[in-house]
């Protein structure tokens, strides 16, 4: 039995957070701070013919104006990924060509934000306007405006057709598969733009330390990638940069981007003054977004539900820059298709530029868009063959001990790695969820309200296999406590706490004896950062190894102090105990012995961890909704999620991940939508007009963690952060069909879209002229 793992230990940072202590990026005061504001492009596609900053520079209180004319032009990707990044090098600090409304023209650093804003207005820019392209299908056509025609970009597959990347994989024999099918269906599904909306927008503060080294204090998921990318863009050595990630106010993928840090850093290097760069809420909306993806899905099945062929073709829209473009595209196949037992599969993906806001990493990372298509389609197949949706789900999913050829064929931006599912309790998740939702066949409702039920199954991964690496250092103090230093990045998930629990369990001490310090490139070992559902599994693996090594050292000293051999010793409650005599030495005595008495040395270890597999967490979701036929409004009444994340290191924190991702997912499915004007400008960039769920909107939630044991994970753990955002879109689409018999294949399911689908209203005058690219 575990003593620390599997327990609802309170967050190690909880006390400071509930007190509102100054622990976030912006909560420090530095003297002589400069404030930075952007001038952004009013045009979706244009070239700067001339730019005159003299009036701005003359203003009292303006320290510096930066444009493409006085900053280094170093092509890079803003995607905070491992090196070399699989995203194209298509960005520079300040481009001469504008590629979406909001692209960065210039910035002003001034004594106050107000002065900076006033000065921005005084910059005179003359643009040569170019034709934009917004529709991703049009962007691929011959003769479409070419968005990236610059010569120094690299990693773009076919710039002339705005094609960032493509992939095609075939396993089995697709034609034969469709030949064997009793039913073949083909449909088109569209998943829309969305923004993460962390309550803390992007913010960075830069300054020079007492030795003149650059310190970047930033709200990021990827401190080590920030250091590397900034060094490259600024043309300075990595050794001259220290990146600190304090507590951060939510991220969900949008802070896996590096694009404000080097600008603030450049201001600091030029002026030798601290600089702060914070996005406004409206800027945050078009900082980074979810890739809108069109999926054309063709599935063949036998009458008994056996899937014989899946042909999935996707077109992903990365907007103006290709951040995470190819990797998200790969993931739409690689994190979705292996869930289904099917011998004949084809996946084809294309990702294109358009003159719309830049997409990036968003919780779910392509899988969310993919599951909307596959899990909607499964219900359509189920109806054709006369099978209950839940029965079809019971039949078609991958099981423990099985593999999928897709694991090998598709990775993240490249070929994958074969793997066998070594832990899955998905069958139990489906049974338990089905029981809890109390699915009623043909529910009868009076009047306008119609009730419907829907379900979906899903998986994700745990880290990127053979890519993601985490490291940990543990050192022992003379009171028998331990400093745990990790590069891993707690973005509010509670990973500092979970990693402390893993260390405590291994070292056989209470978690309170572990002092965690994370995400500081000067003091903590490397970690790729918090993304791809990697922290518990990968960084946790590093902590486990490190703690084991420290424990070996402790036992070695215990041997000498007790004059016993290892075989006769056990470790319990912070003591090394002789099994023979029951005499013992405490950790405190061992640490003091090592530090002050015998063979003096610091008890310390550092270990790194990667994994050659990425064990998927699984989940089954069930939803009950009520639709008002008069207004088209959907009310989610009840949502049940049964989740296999292996061992939940901290069940309460794991539940929190599930609940948070589901509400984010329901909000995405029902109310969140980017509305553009004819110029490609987002018209609703505020919380007033872009509706995210409040406490009033949430349904009754039932979350059940169904433990499995993942042999490759720390204490049997897998990931839990992303998987559940994949469920709400398809589960609700399926429930809509169950309630009113219409199939909506385009998200979000807003009242007008529901009414339109039901034929209750005429084709709405397209108020969202350019919705949903």
Partner 1 sequence: MQIEVKINGVLKKLETSPGERLLDLLRRKGYKSVKRGCEEGECGACSIILEGKLVKSCLIFAPQVSGHSIITLEGLSPKGELHPIQQAFLEEGAVQCGFCTPGMILATKVLLDKNPHPSEKEIKEAISGNLCRCTGYVKIVKAIKRVGETLNKNV
Rg (CA), the chain: 27
Give the number of other Cβ atoms within 10 Å of residue 264's Cβ: 28
Sign of the CA dihedral with 72 first, then 76, 79, and 83 last: negative
Nearest to 710 by CA among 461, 489, 415, 358: 461
Give the phi and the psi of residue 364 in degrees, each rounded to 5: 105, -35
The nearer residue to partner 1, 86 or 660, going by C-beta atoms, is: 660
Interface residue with partner 1, options 660, 680, 713, 748 (CB under 8 A): 660
From 605, 663, 669, 675, residue interacting with partner 1 (rule: CB under 8 A):
663
Binding partner 1 (rule: CB under 8 A), the pick from 173, 187, 271, 280 is 280
Counting residues that bind partner 1 (by CB under 8 A) gives 57
Does the protein bind partner 1 through residue 662 (CB under 8 A)? yes
Identify which of residues 250 and 751 has a Cβ nearer to partner 1 in the complex.
250
| Dihedral sign, Cα of residue 113, residue 115, residue 116, residue 120 | positive
CB of 457 to partner 1, least distance (A): 20
Q: Which of 334, 358, 478 is nearest to 412 (CA)?
A: 334
> Does residue 656 belong to the site contacting partner 1 (CB under 8 A)?
yes
Residues 6+ apart with CB under 8 A from 525: 471, 472, 473, 485, 486, 487, 606, 608
Region binding partner 1 by CB under 8 A among candidate stretches 191-199, 382-390, 461-469, 627-635: 191-199
User: Given candidates 491, 530, 626, 669, which one binds partner 1 under the rule CB under 8 A?
Assistant: 491
**Of the ranges 169-177, 367-375, 595-603, 653-661, which one interacts with partner 1 (CB under 8 A)?**
653-661
Answer for which of 178, 523, 526, 687 binds partner 1 (CB under 8 A) is 687
DSSP helix/strand/coil, 114: helix
Instruction: Collect all residues with Cβ–Cβ distance below 8 Å to 5 and sequence separation of at least 6.
Output: 501, 502, 505, 647, 649, 715
CB of 207 to partner 1, least distance (A): 18
CB nearer to partner 1: pick between 283 and 383: 283
Tell me how far, at minimum, the Cβ of 10 lies from partner 1, in Å: 6
136 vs 323: CA distance, rounded Å: 16
> Which residues contact residue 244 at a Cβ distance below 8 angstroms, ignoring those fewer than 6 apart?
215, 216, 217, 218, 223, 519, 520, 521
Kindly state whether residue 728 participates in binding partner 1, applying the rule CB under 8 A.
no
**Do the beta carbons of residue 260 and residue 38 sit within 8 Å?**
no
Residues 6+ apart with CB under 8 A from 58: none
- The residue behind tokens 């993942």 is 710
Among 35, 134, 252, 531, binds partner 1 (CB under 8 A): 252
| 31 touching partner 1, by CB under 8 A | no
Question: Which stretch, 130-138, 143-151, 199-207, 422-430, contacts partner 1 (CB under 8 A)?
Answer: 199-207
Asked if residue 203 lies in contact with residue 276, where contact means CB atoms within 8 angstroms, the answer is: yes
Stretch 623-652 residues interacting with partner 1 (CB under 8 A): 652
- Residue 10 is a binding residue for partner 1 (CB under 8 A): yes
Q: Is 249 in the site for partner 1 (CB under 8 A)?
A: yes
Nearer to partner 1 by Cβ, of 198 and 461: the residue is 198
Return the H-helix or E-strand segment holding 334: helix 325-334
Span near partner 1 by CB under 8 A; candidates 45-53, 134-142, 231-239, 488-496: 488-496
Decide if residue 512 touches partner 1 (CB under 8 A).
no
Give min distance, CB of 657 to partner 1, in A: 8
Q: Does 368 bind partner 1 (CB under 8 A)?
A: no
Contacting partner 1 (CB under 8 A), which of 692, 756, 758, 768? 692
Within 10 angstroms of residue 112's Cβ, the number of other Cβ atoms is 12
Is residue 393 within 8 A of residue 200, CB to CB? The reply is: no
Element at 278 (helix H, strand E): strand 275-278
| Site for partner 1 contains 462 (CB under 8 A) | no
Backbone torsions φ then ψ of 367, nearest 5 degrees: -65, -35
Taking residues 543 to 582 in sequence order and writing x for each that binds partner 1 by CB under 8 A, - otherwise, the string is: ----------------------------------------
156 binds partner 1 (CB under 8 A): no
The reply to whether 19 sits near partner 1 by the rule CB under 8 A is: yes
- The token pair at 643 is 């989740």
Among the listed residues 34, 39, 241, 248, the single contact to partner 1 using CB under 8 A:
248
Applying CB under 8 A, among 76, 148, 196, 202 the residue interacting with partner 1 is: 196
Residue 149 in contact with partner 1, rule: CB under 8 A: no
475 contacts partner 1 (rule: CB under 8 A) = no
695 interacts with partner 1 by CB under 8 A: yes
| CB closer to partner 1 out of 33 and 59 | 33
Interface stretch with partner 1, choices 10-18, 37-45, 148-156, 450-458 (CB under 8 A): 10-18
Pull the structure tokens for residue 408. Answer: 């090998």
Cα–Cα dist 717/704, whole Å: 16
Looking at beta carbons only, is 42 or 656 nearer to partner 1?
656
Peptide bond into 459 cis (omega under 30): no
- Tell the smallest beta-carbon distance from residue 611 to partner 1 (Å): 26
Which one of residues 344, 376, 423, 493 is an interface residue with partner 1 (CB under 8 A)?
493
Query: CA angle 453-459-460, nearest 5°?
Result: 135
| 117 interacts with partner 1 by CB under 8 A | no
If one asks whether residue 333 binds partner 1 (CB under 8 A), the answer comes out as: no
Q: How far is the CB of 633 from partner 1 (least distance, A)?
A: 17
Give the range of 128-136, 504-512, 688-696, 708-716 binding partner 1 by CB under 8 A: 688-696
Least distance from partner 1 to the Cβ atom of residue 619, Å: 15
Q: Which of 3, 240, 281, 341 binds partner 1 (CB under 8 A)?
A: 281
Residue nearer to partner 1 on the CB measure, 274 or 492: 492
> Long-range CB contacts (< 8 A, 24+ apart) of 209-212?
209/242
Q: Which residues contact 240 (CB under 8 A, 6 or more apart)?
A: 213, 214, 231
Residue number, 22 or 741, with CB nearest to partner 1: 22
Q: Is 249 helix (H, G, I), strand (E, B) or coil?
A: coil
- 32 contributes a contact to partner 1 by CB under 8 A: no
Contact between 722 and partner 1 (CB under 8 A)?
no
Closest to 704 in 3D by CA, of 363, 435, 379: 435
Please, what is the minimum distance in Å from the beta carbon of residue 636 to partner 1? 12
Helix, strand, coil fractions of the chain, as percent rounded to 5: 30, 25, 45
Give the Cα separation of 305 and 44 in Å (integer).
47
Closer residue to partner 1 (CB): 610 or 698: 698
Quote the CA–CA distance of 445 and 739 in Å, as a whole number.
10
Q: Tell whether residue 14 is a contact of partner 1 (CB under 8 A).
A: yes
Residue 696 engages partner 1 in binding (rule: CB under 8 A): yes
Q: Min. distance of Cβ 20 from partner 1 in angstroms?
A: 3
SS3 of residue 722 by DSSP:
coil
Q: Is the dihedral of CA 381, 387, 390, 395 positive or negative?
A: negative
CA distance 498 to 480: 20
Q: How far is the CB of 421 from partner 1 (least distance, A)?
A: 28
Stretch that binds partner 1, among 183-191, 437-445, 500-508, 692-700 (CB under 8 A): 692-700
Tokens describing residue 564: 């016993």
Site residues for partner 1 per CB under 8 A:
8, 10-11, 13-24, 26-27, 29, 196-201, 247-250, 252, 278, 280-281, 491-494, 652-653, 655-656, 659-664, 686-688, 692-696, 698, 701, 703
């Amino acid at each position: 039995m575990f003593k620390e793992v599997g327990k609802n230990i309170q967050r190690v940072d909880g006390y400071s957070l509930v007190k509102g202590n100054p622990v976030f990026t912006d909560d420090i005061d530095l003297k002589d701070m400069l404030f930075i504001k952007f001038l952004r492009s009013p045009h979706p596609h244009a070239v700067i013919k001339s730019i005159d900053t003299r009036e701005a520079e003359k203003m009292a209180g303006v320290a510096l104006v930066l444009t493409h004319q006085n900053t280094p032009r170093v092509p890079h990707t803003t995607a905070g990924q491992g090196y070399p990044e699989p995203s194209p090098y298509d960005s520079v600090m300040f481009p001469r060509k504008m590629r979406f409304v909001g692209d960065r023209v210039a910035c002003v650093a001034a004594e106050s934000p107000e002065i900076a804003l006033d000065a921005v207005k005084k910059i005179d820019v003359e643009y040569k306007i170019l034709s934009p392209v917004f529709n991703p299908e049009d962007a691929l056509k011959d003769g479409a405006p070419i968005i990236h025609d610059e010569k120094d970009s690299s990693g773009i597959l076919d710039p002339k057709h705005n094609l960032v990347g493509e992939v095609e994989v075939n396993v089995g024999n697709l034609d034969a598969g469709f030949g064997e099918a009793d039913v073949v269906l083909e449909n088109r599904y569209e998943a829309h733009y969305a923004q993460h909306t962390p309550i803390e927008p992007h913010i960075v503060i830069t300054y020079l330390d007492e030795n003149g080294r650059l310190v970047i204090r930033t709200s990021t998921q990827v401190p080590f990638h920030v250091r590397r990318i900034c060094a490259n863009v600024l043309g300075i050595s990595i050794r001259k940069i220290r990146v600190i990630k304090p507590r951060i106010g939510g991220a969900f993928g949008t802070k896996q981007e590096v694009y404000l840090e080097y600008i603030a850093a450049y201001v600091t290097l030029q002026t030798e003054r601290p600089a702060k760069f914070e996005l406004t809420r409206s800027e945050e909306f078009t900082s980074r977004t979810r890739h809108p993806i069109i999926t054309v899905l063709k599935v063949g099945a036998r009458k008994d539900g056996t899937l014989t062929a899946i042909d999935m073709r996707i077109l992903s829209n990365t907007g103006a820059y290709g951040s995470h473009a190819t990797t998200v595209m790969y993931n739409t196949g690689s994190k979705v298709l292996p869930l289904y037992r099917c011998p004949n599969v084809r996946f084809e993906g294309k990702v294109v530029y358009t003159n719309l806001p830049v997409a990036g990493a968003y919780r779910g990372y392509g899988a969310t868009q993919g599951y909307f298509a596959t899990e909607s389609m499964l219900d359509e197949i189920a109806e054709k063959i006369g099978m209950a949706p839940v029965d079809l789900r019971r039949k078609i999913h991958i099981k423990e001990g099985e593999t999928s050829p897709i694991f090998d064929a598709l990775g993240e931006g490249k070929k994958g790695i074969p793997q066998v599912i070594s832990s899955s309790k998905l069958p139990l998740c489906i049974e338990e969820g089905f029981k809890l939702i109390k699915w009623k066949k043909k529910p009868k409702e009076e009047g306008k309200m119609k009730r419907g039920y829907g379900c979906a199954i899903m998986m994700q991964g745990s880290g990127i296999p053979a890519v993601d690496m985490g490291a940990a250092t543990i050192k022992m103090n003379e009171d028998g406590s331990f400093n745990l230093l990790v590069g891993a990045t707690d973005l509010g998930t509670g990973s500092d706490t979970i990693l402390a629990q893993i260390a405590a369990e291994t070292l056989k001490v209470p978690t309170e004896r572990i002092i965690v310090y994370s995400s500081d490139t000067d003091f903590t070992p490397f970690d790729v950062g918090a993304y791809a559902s990697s922290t518990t599994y990968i960084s946790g693996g590093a902590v486990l190894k490190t703690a084991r090594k420290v424990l070996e050292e402790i036992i070695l000293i215990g041997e000498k102090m007790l004059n016993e051999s290892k075989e006769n010793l056990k470790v319990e409650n912070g003591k090394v105990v002789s099994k023979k005599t029951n005499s013992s030495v405490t950790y405190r005595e061992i640490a003091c012995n090592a530090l002050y008495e015998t063979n003096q040395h610091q008890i310390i270890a550092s270990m790194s961890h990667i994994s050659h597999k990425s064990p998927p967490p699984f989940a089954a979701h069930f939803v009950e909704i009520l639709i008002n036929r008069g207004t088209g409004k959907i009310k989610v009444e009840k949502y049940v999620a049964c989740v296999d994340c292996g061992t939940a290191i901290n069940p309460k924190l794991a539940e929190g991940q599930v609940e948070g991702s589901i509400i984010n997912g329901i909000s995405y499915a029902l109310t969140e939508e980017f509305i553009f004007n004819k110029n490609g400008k987002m018209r609703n960039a505020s919380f007033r007009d872009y509706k995210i769920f409040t406490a009033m909107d949430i349904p009754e939630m039932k979350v059940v963690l169904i433990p499995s044991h993942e042999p490759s994970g720390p204490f049997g753990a897998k990931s839990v952060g992303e998987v559940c955002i994949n469920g709400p879109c398809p589960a609700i689409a399926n429930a809509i069909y169950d309630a009113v018999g219409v199939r909506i294949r385009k998200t979000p399911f807003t009242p007008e879209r529901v009414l339109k689908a039901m034929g209750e209203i005429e084709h709405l005058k397209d108020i969202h002229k350019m919705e949903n690219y």
